[in-house]
Amino acid sequence: MAADNPLLALVTALASGRIRIVDLTQTLTPEFPQITLPPEFGQCWPFRIEEVSHYDERGPAWYWNNFSCGEHTGTHFDAPIHWISGRDLPNNSVDTIAVENFVAPACVIDCSGEAAADADFLLTVPFVEAWEAKHGRIPPKSWVLMRTDWSKRTDPAAYQNFDETGQHTPGPDADVVRFLVEERDVLGFGSEAIGTDAGQGYHLRPPYPCHSLMHGAGRYGLQCLSNLDQLPPTGAVLICPPLKIRKGSGSPLRVLAMVET
Amino acid sequence: MTMPFMRPPKKNPILRTRVPTLPPWTRSRVALGLTAAAAVGRFELQSCDDCGTVQYPPRESCHQCLSIALRWSPESGEGQLLSETRLHHSNDLFFRERLPWRLGLVQLASGPTLMVHLHGDVPAAPCAVRVGARLDRAGQAVLIAFPAEETPHMADDPQLREMTCDPRHRKVLVTDGKTAVGQALVRALAKAGADLVWVGEAEPWKKSPGLDALSDLPCVTRVPLDLTDERSVLQLAGELGGKVDILVNNAEVHRPFGISARRGTEAARAEMDVNYFGLLRLAQGFGPAMRARGADGQAGATAWVNLLSVYALSNFPPHGTYSASKAAALSAAQCLRAEMRAGGIRVVNVFPGPIDDEWNQTLPPPKLSAEGVASAIVRALRDGVEDVFPGDVAQEWFERWRESPKTLERELAQGGT
Amino acid sequence: MSRRDYHGIVVTTPVTVPYVRYSTHGPHRFLAQALDSLLQGSGLAKEAIDGLTVSSFSLAPDTAVGMTQHLGVSPRWLDHIPMGGASGVVALRRAARAVQSGDADVVACLAGDTNRVDSFRLMLGSFSQFAQDATYPYGSGGPNAMFAFITAHYMREFGATREDFGKLCVAQRANALRFPHAMFRKPLTLDEYLGARVIADPIHLFDCVMPCAGADAFLVMTEDRARAAGIPYARVLGAIERHNAFADDPIMFRGGWLLDRDDLYAQTGVGPDAMDFVQTYDDYPVIVMIQLEDLGFCEKGEAAAFVRRHTFTHDGSFPSNTSGGQLSAGQAGASGGFLGMVEAIRQLTGAAGERAVTDARFGLVSGFGMVTYDRCLCTGAVVLGAA
């Protein structure tokens, strides 16, 4: 019976522990850093929360908060409309993206050793080809997640990793983005760092290639992921629906991965 | 001779903290002219436009010629001490807790006889004295007679210390150590003898070499503080709120835009979030404990300093949203001043002209150095002044504003000069 | 034009509503008791009272006007006299003029105050606009501080010593021991005076009066009427008042008496030498000395020497404040301005009992009231003669 009914098979597998769910989401806190742009530009709001009432004179029997944040605060989803290259694409905002895309397989490329050695590490085509040699070709409509263990940097300063020349975090180079879009038809690119692009991505050609090229091709981004070390190189399935914000360029979200045990 | 004020012994943390009391606060409306002048560090008395008589106490008309053309005019304070007393009994709680208390009767060279608080270094009557106006713990102007010549440690006179907010041997929180002003403030406060300076640091991932350099000062401790984050403010208030004697809120966001030069309200909101709401969050976090500690020993909680801007008085359109946020902060600071009065905590508002920083890059000189702002703040604390206009630009704008707010508004609309 | 005399006007029926340290009752009660005592003492009916003066600090928001309704009287002449220590002299002077001119036949002059535990303190801060603005915020010492200035200055300028002040205080205490209503009933020695705790240097404890509750009163009428009714009386021989004199003196060392004393003695027909006793206003002993000078008993600056060569008990060489003065009898608010007046009437009508000044024919009563800022503003004096 279970074999005939894939959904039932899924819940049975979940119940039995054959499939487990890994939470890839950072907790939203005011301390979690947000993307930093030059101060003359507009800024993404950090996560802020204020108590509405706490079983007190402001509300005797209930506790709740108001919070505020930007669309790109905490673990968040980037829609193609986020970048100017994707602004005219159809279904390019979080409210219009086909919901089927919010459940998709993921390939996890482990760059943790390289990122530990070099904060400015750039993922390249040869690196991906080497990975494919080991784990097989990246299937179309897959997420490619760059594991760097960056999420283990719990000190916000180490996570942001600024010095006088700017930010130093790992990301993809321009060629590999082009490769993933054109040669592998990926669904999107996910990163543990604050952006899908490297900290020094401004200096690449084009600047910020992962934003520019991915979104220009209608693909998505996931940022500030965590727990990628708990995922297999292949075989995980992500569930990552963003909030349905009209014309939204992205949104904070809960990212879950289903993994076969 | 005044004994130098030595570092008070550490507080016994299990003893009850004395509840602050205030000297008599009520004044007639006409007497508030003295307070209005003292609040900006001036000593002014009523003088008659028609006959030139200088009179005190303040009245509604000239007691010589009955003219109502009275003007508050600067007074040199030179006078003669006619008589003195040392009170050993008082009908008021505030003074009762501070007896004995020295008082004098002074005749000013300009005529009137004044009852004054008497500095300890003034010799026996009769002698020459110099009278000044100061704000007392209740925030009202009082007169105090000083010796005609400076004496050593004059500022440490115990009665005078009840009218000032000297940072020496006090614990100070500077809310933003990342700005040049914040760093200059920390250095100035350390030099002024502050016991401890906590310096707030928001977004610690953004490096600040100037802030790193402050770590050389042994009295400085960096603390996480983000005025846009209620929890950050409340957490720090919970940890240090009961120790902060002087809070200097220098955190600000400043973007040089008017209304039309920048679409949307994101930048304006960021300004309001720090400049206005940040002040509110700080006040809710740190206000209650400070208010309760206004009489906590010889160097208890004493002052709350807000770094505003002279643009708070009248909008400077090229920096229009910043001006508006500072006007909001000024209004909130007035509310805070009223609320902090019960604890005898002085709220000092600082109205600098343009500071020589990145956001005033395109404004022509003169511009204030960060050190200039910092030393003006330390001076204001020592003098017990309530409204401070550091720098020539601020002084000039303040005078223009006093003369005619509407004229200044028009001038600023034309570009400022 | 010289001032008219007070011929044919008399003052009668000195009454005291016994002083108590504190009272929870309103001042209206003490004033009513005072009026009741006046009627009982004089035998007059309430309806006979057609003139009224009222002096009280604690009466606010009422004034003499409200008191008419409280007391159920309908005077055709009414005066509210909020002049503190000058109230008695001023009330008498004005009542005498009212009777003299026919505006009233019998004037009841009342003074009284209550004293709640906190009322002295509360009164100080709101005593005057100048007190609120320019003295109370300076240590809140009340009149002690200002009189400390005046005393210290006077001592420095004129060489008076604490022993001189003490001599006055000790003599007054001796007088008080023979006055049944006095609050202080224990003898005072000069050593005790000198050793008392300092209040506001150079003012010490026994230089200060004790606030209390109580009332004093007297009647003013024509001599004919008093004689017809068989009411003992003293004659009003002269009376002066002056306000805010010597405003340009940077610190008080003289009072308004100096401006008017020649008129006073001209009305009286005799000079200061003829006085058998004086009742000075004694809120602080320095003020007693200033009155002795300004009323012509000695030259300015000579009071200390005067004090050294005289004695001040009722049987002394210069009987003074024969009921103990406020320093020993207590200060029942505005009643303090009546204390000397009722005592003078008692002395001149043979009602002073064991403290009587022998063969007293002339007595002087001086008033001094209202420190609104740095000095007392109201001064006045009355000379009374025995019938």
Closest CB from C125, C126, C201 relative to B85:
C201
Distance (Å, rounded) from C-alpha B340 to C-alpha B346?
7
pLDDT at residue B410, rounded to an integer: 94
pLDDT at residue C378, rounded to an integer: 97
Closest CB from B24, B63, B104 relative to C140:
B24
Count of residues in chain B:
417
The three state secondary structure string of chain A is: CCCCCHHHHHHHHHHHCCEEEEECECCCCCCCCCCCCCCCCCCCCCCEEEEEEEEECCEEEEEEEEEECCCCCCCEEECHHHCHHHCCCCCCCCCCCCHHHHEEEEEEEECHHHHHHCCCCEECHHHHHHHHHHHCCCCCCCEEEEECCHHHCCCHHHHHCEECCEECCCEECHHHHHHHHHCCCCCEEEECCCCCCCCCHHHCCCCCHHHHHHHHCCCEEEECECCHHHCCCCCEEEECCCCCCCCCCEEECCCEEEEEC
Q: Are C222 and C171 members of one domain?
A: no
Q: Which residues from A are below 8 Å from B232, CB to CB?
A: 30-31
Which of A48, A153, A155, A194 would best serve as a mutation to test chain B binding (most B beta carbons within 10 A)? A48
> Strand B220-224 and strand B127-135: pairing?
unpaired
Confidence of residue A104 (pLDDT cuts 50, 70, 90): very high
Interface of C with B (CB under 8 A): 120-121, 124-126, 129-130, 132-142, 144-146, 148-150, 152-153, 156, 197-203, 247, 250-251, 373-374
Q: What is the DSSP letter of C132?
A: I
CB count within 10 Å of CB C14 equals 26
pLDDT at residue B417, rounded to an integer: 53
Radius of gyration of chain A from Cα atoms?
19
Closest CB from B103, B113, B125 relative to C139:
B103
B37 within 8 A of B43, measured Cβ to Cβ: yes
C375 within 8 A of C360, measured Cβ to Cβ: no
Question: H/E element holding C314?
Answer: none
- Give how far B256 is from chain A: nearest CA, Å: 9
| Residue C132 resides in a domain | no
Q: Which residues from A are below 8 Å from B223, CB to CB?
A: none
Mean pLDDT of B287-304: 94
Whether residue B266 and residue A42 make contact (CB cut-off 8 A), yes or no, is yes
* DSSP string across B172-210: EEES--SSHHHHHHHHHHHHTT-SEEEEEESSTTS--HH
- Quote the domain boundaries for residue C159: 138-210+234-386
| Residue C334 resides in a domain | yes
B251 within 8 A of B202, measured Cβ to Cβ: yes
Mean pLDDT of B323-333: 98
Q: What is the DSSP letter of C15?
A: E
What is the assigned CATH class of domain B171-413?
Answer: alpha beta
Domain boundaries, chain B: 32-161, 171-413
Closest CB from B31, B90, B126 relative to C139:
B90
Interface of A with B (CB under 8 A): 30-31, 33, 36, 39-40, 42-43, 46, 48-51, 156-157, 159-164
A77: left (phi over 0), alpha (psi -120 to 50) or beta: beta
pLDDT digit string, tens, across residues B334-356: 999 999 999 999 999 999 999 99
Task: Say whether the peptide bond before residue C272 is cis (omega within 30 degrees of 0).
Answer: no
pLDDT at residue B414, rounded to an integer: 86
Distance (Å, rounded) from C-alpha C264 to C-alpha C246?
19
Q: Which two tokens stand for residue C264?
A: 């006073």
What is residue B63's three-state secondary structure? coil
pLDDT digit string, tens, across residues C348-363: 999 999 999 999 999 9
Closest CB from A43, A51, A162 relative to B207:
A162
B204 touches chain A (CB under 8 A): yes
Name the amino acid, one letter, at B371.
E
Mean pLDDT (chain B, rounded):
95
Which of C116, C140, C157, C210 would best serve as a mutation to test chain B binding (most B beta carbons within 10 A)? C140
What residues pair up with B45 in beta bridges, in sequence order? B73
> Strand B44-48 and strand B70-74: pairing?
antiparallel
What is residue C359's three-state secondary structure? coil
C378 within 8 A of C83, measured Cβ to Cβ: yes
Whether residue B136 and residue C153 make contact (CB cut-off 8 A), yes or no, is no
pLDDT at residue A42, rounded to an integer: 87
Closest chain C CA to residue B118: C138
The domain total for chain C is 2
Q: Are C217 and C295 members of one domain?
A: no
Closest CB from B205, B229, B266 relative to A48:
B229
Q: Are C105 and C192 members of one domain?
A: no
Q: What is the DSSP letter of C249?
A: -
CA nearest A150: which of A107, A177, A114? A114
A43 vs C150, more confident: C150
| Residue C130 resides in a domain | no
B362 touches chain A (CB under 8 A): no
Distance (Å, rounded) from C-alpha B390 to C-alpha B331?
20
pLDDT digit string, tens, across residues B132-178: 999 999 999 999 999 999 999 999 999 999 999 999 999 999 999 99
Residue A2 has pLDDT above 60, yes or no: no
Mean pLDDT of C365-378: 94
Closest chain A CA to residue B204: A157
pLDDT digit string, tens, across residues B359-374: 999 998 899 999 999 9
Confidence of residue B14 (pLDDT cuts 50, 70, 90): confident
pLDDT at residue C190, rounded to an integer: 98
pLDDT at residue C305, rounded to an integer: 98
Q: Are C166 and C311 members of one domain?
A: yes
Q: Which two tokens stand for residue B216?
A: 């050389």
C372 within 8 A of C86, measured Cβ to Cβ: no
Q: Which residues from B are below 8 Å from A159, CB to CB?
A: 205
Whether residue A48 and residue B255 make contact (CB cut-off 8 A), yes or no, is no
| Residue C108 resides in a domain | yes
Return the active site residues of A: 82
Whether residue A162 and residue B206 make contact (CB cut-off 8 A), yes or no, is yes
Name the amino acid, one letter, at B290.
M
What is the CATH topology of the domain spanning A20-260?
Glucose Oxidase; domain 1 (3.50.30)
Which of B86, B105, B160, B162 would best serve as a mutation to test chain C binding (most C beta carbons within 10 A)? B105
Mean pLDDT (chain C, rounded):
96
Which of B222, B223, B229, B357 would best serve as a mutation to test chain A binding (most A beta carbons within 10 A)? B229
Distance (Å, rounded) from C-alpha C63 to C-alpha C66?
5
pLDDT at residue A124, rounded to an integer: 98
Subunits in contact with chain C (3 or more CB pairs closer than 8 Å): B
Q: Are C142 and C228 members of one domain?
A: no
Mean pLDDT of B279-291: 97
Q: Which residue has tokens 């003359």?
A: A40
Radius of gyration of chain C from Cα atoms?
19
Q: What is the DSSP letter of B60?
A: S
Whether residue B270 and residue A40 make contact (CB cut-off 8 A), yes or no, is no
Q: Do chains A and B touch (3 or more CB pairs under 8 A)?
A: yes
Q: Which residues from B are below 8 Å from C145, CB to CB?
A: 85, 87, 103, 115
Closest CB from A30, A33, A40 relative to B205:
A33
Residue B279 has pLDDT above 90, yes or no: yes
Q: Which two tokens stand for residue C321?
A: 């404040």
pLDDT digit string, tens, across residues C205-216: 999 999 999 999
Whether residue B92 and residue C142 make contact (CB cut-off 8 A), yes or no, is no
pLDDT digit string, tens, across residues B41-69: 999 999 999 999 999 999 999 999 999 99
Confidence of residue B416 (pLDDT cuts 50, 70, 90): low
CATH of the domain at C94: 3.40.47.10
| Residue C184 resides in a domain | yes
Alpha helix (H) ranges present in chain C?
27-42, 64-71, 87-100, 119-125, 129-130, 143-158, 162-176, 190-195, 223-229, 257-268, 285-294, 303-309, 325-329, 339-348
pLDDT above 70 covers a percentage of chain C that reads 100
Burial label for B213, CB within 10 Å (0-12, 13-18, 19+), is exposed
pLDDT digit string, tens, across residues C256-314: 999 999 999 999 999 999 999 999 999 999 999 999 999 999 999 999 999 999 999 99
Q: Are C254 and C327 members of one domain?
A: yes
Whether residue A156 and residue B205 make contact (CB cut-off 8 A), yes or no, is yes
- Give how far C186 is from chain B: nearest CA, Å: 24
Closest chain C CA to residue B96: C139
Whether residue A159 and residue B255 make contact (CB cut-off 8 A), yes or no, is no
C51 within 8 A of C104, measured Cβ to Cβ: yes
pLDDT digit string, tens, across residues B74-99: 999 999 999 999 999 999 999 999 99
Q: Which residues from C are below 8 Å from B86, CB to CB?
A: 198, 200-201
Distance (Å, rounded) from C-alpha C316 to C-alpha C310?
7
Name the amino acid, one letter, at B52.
G
Distance (Å, rounded) from C-alpha B386 to C-alpha B308?
13
Q: Are C199 and C260 members of one domain?
A: yes
Tell me the ipTM for this assembly. 0.93
Mean pLDDT of C98-113: 98
B245 within 8 A of B170, measured Cβ to Cβ: yes
B308 within 8 A of B330, measured Cβ to Cβ: yes
pLDDT digit string, tens, across residues B244-264: 999 999 999 999 999 998 888
